C-alpha cells in the first residue's frame, strides 16, 4: 500500500506550495550578497585607513628627517637634546637579533614536534600534546614577557655573568617558544596531508620509519613547512610585549646579544607610553618606524605565499 492511498488528504506538493513565500525569499536572496559585501568592505576600508594614516604621518616625518639618513644611519638618538639622530639601522638590528634567536629556537623544535605528531605519535599521545600546544599559543604575550624577565634571564645570568638584566637572548628564546605552536601545528597539517599511499610506497622498498619521515614526508610537505616558518618569522618581527618587557631600550648597531637592545616595536611602545608631545619629530618617527615594520612583515607574508606556491611538490 503506498502513502498516497493510505492518506488521501496528505499531499506534500500542495503543502509546499501553501507554505512557500517566494516574494520574501527572493528579497532576502537578493539582499544577502549586498549585505555580506558591505560587511566585507568594512575590513578592507579599515586596512586602507590604517595604511593611509601610516603613509601620511610617515610623509610628514620625512619632511623633517632625510630619507637617506633614516635608512642608512647607524645612530638612533631621537631623545638627544642638541642633535637628535634618526638612523633606523640599530632598531632593525635589534629586531633581527630577536628574530634570529627565535628562529633558531623555534624551527628545530617546531618541525621536530610536527614530525613526531604526524609520523610517530599514537592517537593518545596526539590527544594530549595538541591541546598543550594550543594552550601555549593562547598565552598572552605579556605573560611571556614576564616569563623572559623573571625566569629565563636569571637562569642565563647564573650561567654567564656577562648577561645583563635586559638582553637579546632571553626575549629571543621566549619569542621562539611563542612561535613554536604556529610552526608545529601548520607543519603538522602539511605533513598530515601527504597521502598515505606515498608512505606505503616507501615502506614497501624497505624504508625505516625515520627514512619515510625525513626523505618522503618532509620533502613532500616542504612548501607548507617553509610557509609556516616564514609566517612565524613575521610574527616574531612584529612581537612587541615580550621585547618591551625583557629586551631593554638601548638602540645599538652591533652584534652583542648579552646587553640591552631595542627593537622597532619596543621603540614604538616607549614613545607611545611616554610623554612625547603631539606634532614633534619623535611623534612622527613612530609612524616611520611602524611603516618600516609593516614593510618587513608584508614582505614576509608575500614570501610565504610565494614559497607555498613555488615549492609545492605536486602530487
Partner 1 sequence: MTTTVKPKIQVPEKEKESASRGSVYQSNQLNLWYDTNHALKNIDLDIKENEVTAIIGPSGCGKSTYIKTLNRMTETIPSVKTSGEIIYRGKNILEKGYRVEELRTKVGMVFQKPNPFPKSIYENIAYGPRIHGIKNKKILDQIVEKSLRGAAIWDEVKDRLNENAYSLSGGQQQRICIARCLAIEPDVILMDEPTSALDPISTLKVEELVQELKKEYSIIIVTHNMQQAARISDKTAFFLNGEVIEFDQTDKIFSNPSDKRTEDYISGRFG
> What residue ranges bind partner 1 (CB under 8 A)?
195-208, 211, 215-216, 219-220, 313-315
Cα separation of the two ends of the chain = 54
CB of 41 to partner 1, least distance (A): 40
Nearer to partner 1 (CB atom), residue 214 or residue 257:
214
- Shortest Å distance, C-beta 230 to partner 1: 21
Residue 207 Cβ, how far from partner 1 at the closest point, in Å? Answer: 6
The residue (of 216 and 226) whose beta carbon lies closer to partner 1 is 216
| CB nearer partner 1, residue 48 or residue 210 | 210
| Least spacing, CB of residue 170 vs partner 1, in Å | 41
CA distances from 149 to 100, 240, 270, 274 (A): 19, 14, 17, 21
Nearer CB in complex with partner 1: 68/123: 123
As measured in angstroms, the least distance from the Cβ of 8 to partner 1 is 44
Q: The C-alpha cell of 7 is what?
A: 492518506
Task: Note whether 87 and 75 are within 8 A (CB).
Answer: yes
Smallest distance from the beta carbon of 202 to partner 1, in angstroms? 7
Q: From CA 104, how far away is CA 90, in angstroms rounded?
A: 21
Shortest Cβ 214–partner 1 spacing (Å): 10
**Residue nearer to partner 1 on the CB measure, 130 or 312:** 312
Tell me whether residue 203 or residue 253 sits nearer to partner 1 (CB atom): 203
Of 105 and 220, the one with the shorter C-beta distance to partner 1 is 220
DSSP collapsed to 3 states, the chain: CCHHHHCCCCCHHHHHHHHCCHHHHHHHHHHHHHHHHHHHHHHHHHHHHHHHHHHHHHHHHHHHCCHHHHHHCCCEECCCCCCCEECCHHHHHHHHHHHHHHHHHHHHHHHHHHHHHHHHCCHHHHHHHHHHHHHHHHCCHHHHHHHHHHHHHHHHHHHCCCCCCCCCHHHHHHHHHHHHHHHHHHHHHHHHCCCHHHHHHHHCCCCCHHHHHHHHHHHHCHHHHHHHHHHHHHHHHHCCHHHHHHCCCCCCCCCCCCCCCCCHHHHHHHHHHCCCCCCCHHHHHHHHHHHHHHHHHHHHHHHHHHHHHHCCCCC
In terms of CB distance, is 129 or 198 closer to partner 1? 198
Amino acid at each position: 500500500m503506498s502513502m498516497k492511498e493510505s492518506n488521501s488528504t496528505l499531499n506534500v506538493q500542495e503543502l509546499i506550495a501553501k507554505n512557500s513565500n517566494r516574494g520574501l525569499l527572493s528579497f532576502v536572496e537578493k539582499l544577502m550578497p549586498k549585505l555580506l559585501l558591505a560587511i566585507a568592505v568594512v575590513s578592507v576600508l579599515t586596512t586602507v585607513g590604517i595604511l593611509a594614516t601610516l603613509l601620511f604621518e610617515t610623509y610628514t616625518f620625512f619632511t623633517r628627517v632625510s630619507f637617506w639618513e633614516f635608512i642608512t644611519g647607524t645612530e638612533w638618538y631621537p631623545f638627544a637634546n642638541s642633535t637628535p639622530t634618526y638612523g633606523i639601522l640599530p632598531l632593525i638590528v635589534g629586531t633581527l637579533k630577536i628574530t634570529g634567536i627565535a628562529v633558531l629556537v623555534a624551527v628545530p623544535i617546531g618541525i621536530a614536534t610536527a614530525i613526531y605528531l604526524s609520523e610517530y605519535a599514537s592517537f593518545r599521545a596526539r590527544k594530549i600534546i595538541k591541546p598543550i600546544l594550543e594552550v601555549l599559543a593562547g598565552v598572552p604575550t605579556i605573560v611571556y614577557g614576564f616569563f623572559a624577565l623573571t625566569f629565563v634571564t636569571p637562569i642565563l645570568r647564573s650561567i654567564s655573568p656577562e648577561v645583563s638584566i635586559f638582553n637579546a637572548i632571553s626575549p629571543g628564546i621566549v619569542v621562539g617558544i611563542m612561535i613554536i605552536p604556529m610552526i608545529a601545528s601548520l607543519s603538522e597539517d602539511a605533513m598530515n596531508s601527504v597521502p598515505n599511499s606515498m608512505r606505503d610506497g616507501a615502506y614497501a622498498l624497505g624504508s625505516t620509519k625515520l627514512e619515510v619521515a625525513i626523505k618522503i614526508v618532509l620533502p613532500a610537505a616542504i612548501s607548507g613547512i617553509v610557509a609556516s616558518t616564514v609566517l612565524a618569522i613575521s610574527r616574531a618581527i612584529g612581537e612587541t610585549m615580550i621585547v618591551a618587557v625583557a629586551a631593554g631600550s638601548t638602540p645599538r648597531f652591533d652584534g652583542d646579544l648579552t646587553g640591552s637592545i631595542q627593537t622597532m616595536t619596543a621603540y614604538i611602545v616607549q614613545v607611545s607610553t611616554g610623554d612625547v608631545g603631539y606634532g614633534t619629530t619623535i611623534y612622527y618617527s613612530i609612524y616611520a618606524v611602524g611603516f618600516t615594520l609593516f614593510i618587513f612583515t608584508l614582505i614576509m607574508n608575500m614570501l610565504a605565499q610565494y614559497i607555498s606556491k613555488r615549492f609545492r611538490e605536486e602530487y
